[in-house]
Chains A and B, each alone.
Chain A
Amino acid sequence: MRALWARGHAPVDPASLVAFRVAFGLLGMVSAERFLSFGWDERLFDAPSFHFRYYGFGWVPTPPDGVVTGLFVAILALGSLIAFGLVTRLATVLFAVLFTYVQLIDVTTYLNHYVLVSLLAFWMCLMPLGARGSLDAWIRARRGRPPRPPLRAWMLWALRFQVAVVYVNAALAKATGDWLLHGQPMGIWLAARTDTPLVGDLFAHHEVALVLGWAGFLYDLTIPLWLSLRRTRVPAYTLLLVFHGMTAVLFDIGMFPWIMTAAATIFFEPAWPRRLLGRLVGPRDEASRPIEPTRPRRGLAVTLAIFALLQVLWPLRAHAYGGNVLWHEQGMRFSWRVLCREKNGSIRYRVRWTGSERERYVFPQRYLTDHQEREMAGQPDLVLQLAHHVAADHRARGYEDVEVRVDAWVSLNGRRMARMIDPDVDLSRVPDGLGKASWILPAPGGAPIRLQRPPRVAEDER
């Protein structure tokens, strides 16, 4: 333990951590700017009259209209402070809190890479990343004060661990028959992207979907290892650039490729920015300075270890539910199941109350935006949440003994649609929770759809 503590607290060249901080800040700025310029702040947060909440986070306050816009402006500003290293620790803490709060407002805005940004930000809150290569350090030097203690090896370890957790779990999520044996949903997505320059024609072939599916699976599973080994680092990062370049071109995956491309540099030798930029970065300032040993802090070490263990175990919880997680979605979120399903659903609620002679239908658009409806349609816990809201809304309008059932038809990876939720269950009486949901019906069996190339059109018919 002492040896591990000592190794973890060994000073490291801060260059790669500084580069990581700068990239994180810049990407945080770009992410916030995209929300503002695309109007997502209004369309995703202000427009809905109802917000889906994460289990246990129903208490999160809904911001008044316009506040989310202000939050993204603040996140943009905080990103710039992080990048330049000005009041770095405070900026990072505020960034982490605000970015996470925005995500907690509505589950339908959930994206894996937003979660990663929050987790990285929280890790960074524990690290004095403004100690080097920052305006903070420059101001401190100008005031004639000695530099802050050096950055430590555990900081690299923590960030590498976090990035590796994402990759490995993204691979494990793809270890399914649909992905590896049937090439779906990759086949569906590629068939719609045959217009891609140079390689688009290949995408129409089923075999290409299979090959790319396997390639993605093996890449995610092993890339942290290849990036960690000095000999394989250069080809591995080249492959990473190709992989994330392709995902950026092919899919509406937003900042994810850029975040992973930047985050993966944390696997490099800590001095890589110095080697890349040479004199621009300058020599390592504390290389010749003696470092005072630190005493092990058992509480901190245990806390970090538990947090890390949780990161390993939490994504695996889906297996405890049994069945197909892509169908029942229990354990789907926060488990890095990145881009692994094509799911479309049709939802209508059936409501009955005391005195009503027949069931009345409630269509989701009465409460939801189109974006929310599309996201909800494939996620049973969100269907349940809206059922509770529908019941509460009817009760508030004076109806008694309100019962809410649902016709939820869903197609997974191009399969025949099937009922996702038992239509006979009164969802208004089903509590939300983390237990296995008996009201979710089993996933449909059989293989997903296998698409084929349409016959070539004769020249004169075009």
Chain B
Amino acid sequence: MRFSSFFLLAASGLTLASCSGDGAPSDTGPEADARRQVLAAFADDVVVPRLARFRGDAAALETAAQAWAAAPADATARGAAQAAFVDAMDTWQELEVLQVGPAGTTGDIEGGQGLRDEIYSWPTTNACRVDQETIEDAAATPDGLRSELVNVRGLDALERLLFVVDETTACPSSSPLILDGLWEAVAATPGDVTARRASYAASAATLVRERAEELEAAWTGGFRDELATAGAGSVVYRTSLDALNGVSDALFYLEGITVNVKIAEPAGLSGCETADTCPEARESLFADRSLANIQANYRGYVAGFRGGEGMGLDQLLRDVGASDLADRMDAAIVTADPVVEGLSGTLPALLEADPQGLDPAFNAIQDVVRLQRTELVSVFNLRLPQSVAADND
């Protein structure tokens, strides 16, 4: 063979070999099938049932909020709306850990439509902005509220509207709301602030219900199939491994948010240096559901890991020969279960009684997620969340 012919042939071969890496994969082996079983179970047994429950909870919340708006002075109506909020939030907090696809941030998460922030924007919250909306007429109707920022029309705003009973404002004295006397003018009429909050809550609840329906429809109307057919026809996920990575990324919420923020900061374990504890840094400032939210996050994680009735990541670990890791993750979960579920009362009360009262939950949950961060991602060769897709050698 002439040297030049050989060179050109070889170069062509190399180019073709590289190009095939960008082409359609043949994600068809037992590994891919097993992953897709996990993904289907994650969708059918874990996420979709919770979305359906949340849609129902959101509808009930809307109904209860509308009833309160019709009778703002009725404490029973308000209590019913608060109870409906608690149900909805309990469900949503399980879904917080399962942000795969449409709930995720557009551009950052495959299939993301940014619906999570539309429903619950914490920690992007602003109680003062909610108070400003309270005295503006726009918040009295869903259409008026629809164009406002996410931090004044989701569950986080609803928590303030439903659970703050006094008619004071969270805005500082330097805010226009105070300087211009706007809040004072409304608050001068007893019950007016409450009536406006009730009306605003009804509008916000309608928007939450709409987004809940949209999110469920996004899953049942297509995303569920995208997940279950990852690497085998899905347009969102090129490979089953990409989709599995999406699930793993979502589950890291338990470490990055629940442990490091929701527990560590108020418990004084991190980011709280001037006092023993910082209960003011808790998630749920008005309904005081912070502990319940932590428990719901944990339950969502366990469900996502175990896959409900179907095949979960634990079984996938066993199937690929990592039974030892599956056993240790199961054992860590079994150990953490009573510790986390044993949390009761409110977070401030717990820390007041025992400033180190959250430490056992912090450590127990960390023992679970540490196994995911070190070993599970190794076994499945997954990327960590938000990793830059840089080169590696």
Give the B-binding residues of A (Cβ under 8 A): 38, 40, 43-44, 109, 111-113, 188-189, 191-192, 194-198, 200-201, 204, 234, 237-238, 241-242, 244-246, 248-257, 261, 272, 275-278, 338-339, 342-346, 348, 357-358, 360-363, 365-366, 369-371, 373-374, 397, 399, 409-411, 413-414, 416-417, 449-457, 461-462
The docked-state distance in angstroms from the alpha carbon of A454 to that of B29 is 9
The docked-state distance in angstroms from the alpha carbon of A193 to that of B374 is 20
For A399, the chain B residues whose CB sits under 8 A away are 273
Closest Cβ–Cβ distance, residue A459 to chain B (whole Å) = 10
Q: Is the CB of B375 within 8 A of A414?
A: yes
| CB pairs A–B below 8 angstroms (21 shown) | A195-B27, A234-B6, A246-B17, A252-B389, A252-B391, A256-B391, A275-B4, A276-B3, A344-B384, A346-B373, A370-B388, A374-B387, A411-B374, A417-B371, A417-B375, A452-B319, A454-B31, A454-B33, A454-B319, A457-B33, A462-B37
Whether a CB of chain A sits under 8 angstroms from the CB of B381 is: yes
Closest Cβ–Cβ distance, residue A456 to chain B (whole Å) = 5
B19 closest partner in A (C-beta): A249
Name the interface residues of B332-379: CB closer than 8 Å to any CB of A.
Answer: 356, 366, 369-371, 373-375, 377-379
In-complex Cβ contact of A276 among B4, B373, B393 (8 A): B4
Whether a CB of chain A sits under 8 angstroms from the CB of B34 is: yes
Q: Is the CB of B17 within 8 A of A346?
A: no
Known: A276-B3, A371-B388, A454-B316. A200 touches B380 (CB 8 A): no
For A238, the chain B residues whose CB sits under 8 A away are 6, 10
The docked-state distance in angstroms from the alpha carbon of A189 to that of B388 is 19
The docked-state distance in angstroms from the alpha carbon of A450 to that of B321 is 7
Of B91-99, B262-270, B295-303, the stretch lying at the interface with chain A is B262-270
Q: Is the CB of A365 within 8 A of B393?
A: no
For A113, the chain B residues whose CB sits under 8 A away are 391, 393
Q: Is the CB of A457 within 8 A of B34?
A: yes
Known: A237-B10, A248-B17. A194 touches B29 (CB 8 A): yes
Q: Is the CB of B392 within 8 A of A245?
A: no
Q: Is the CB of A360 within 8 A of B273?
A: yes
Closest Cβ–Cβ distance, residue B376 to chain A (whole Å) = 9
Known: A194-B27, A417-B374. A451 touches B18 (CB 8 A): no
Closest Cβ–Cβ distance, residue B326 to chain A (whole Å) = 12
In-complex Cβ contact of A197 among B20, B268, B269, B390 (8 A): B20
Best-surrounded residue of B268, B269, B386, B391 (most CB of chain A within 10 A): B391
CB-CB nearest 10 A-B residue pairs? A254-B391, A245-B17, A192-B381, A195-B25, A454-B319, A452-B321, A195-B27, A249-B21, A454-B34, A457-B33
Q: Is the CB of B387 within 8 A of A200?
A: no
For B378, the chain A residues whose CB sits under 8 A away are 188, 342-344, 411, 413-414, 449
Whether a CB of chain A sits under 8 angstroms from the CB of B231 is: yes
Interface string of B1-44 (1 = CB under 8 A from A): 10110110011011001101101111111111110110000000
The docked-state distance in angstroms from the alpha carbon of A237 to that of B378 is 34
Known: A374-B387, A462-B33. A197 touches B26 (CB 8 A): yes
Closest Cβ–Cβ distance, residue A399 to chain B (whole Å) = 8
B25 closest partner in A (C-beta): A195
The docked-state distance in angstroms from the alpha carbon of A414 to that of B379 is 6
Q: How many interface residues does B have (CB within 8 Å)?
A: 71
Q: Is the CB of B270 within 8 A of A360?
A: yes
For A373, the chain B residues whose CB sits under 8 A away are 384
For A338, the chain B residues whose CB sits under 8 A away are 393
For B387, the chain A residues whose CB sits under 8 A away are 370-371, 374
Whether a CB of chain A sits under 8 angstroms from the CB of B256 is: yes
A340 closest partner in B (C-beta): B393
Q: Is the CB of B393 within 8 A of A112?
A: yes
For B320, the chain A residues whose CB sits under 8 A away are 191, 451-454
Closest Cβ–Cβ distance, residue B252 to chain A (whole Å) = 10
The docked-state distance in angstroms from the alpha carbon of A196 to that of B25 is 6
Closest Cβ–Cβ distance, residue B312 to chain A (whole Å) = 13
Q: Is the CB of B377 within 8 A of A195?
A: no
Closest Cβ–Cβ distance, residue A1 to chain B (whole Å) = 36
For A451, the chain B residues whose CB sits under 8 A away are 320-322, 379
The docked-state distance in angstroms from the alpha carbon of A372 to that of B213 is 39
Known: A346-B370, A417-B374, A449-B321. A254 touches B393 (CB 8 A): yes
For B276, the chain A residues whose CB sits under 8 A away are 357
The docked-state distance in angstroms from the alpha carbon of A28 to that of B261 is 43
Q: Is the CB of A197 within 8 A of B25?
A: yes
For B11, the chain A residues whose CB sits under 8 A away are 241
Interface string of B287-330 (1 = CB under 8 A from A): 00000000000000000000000000000100111101100000
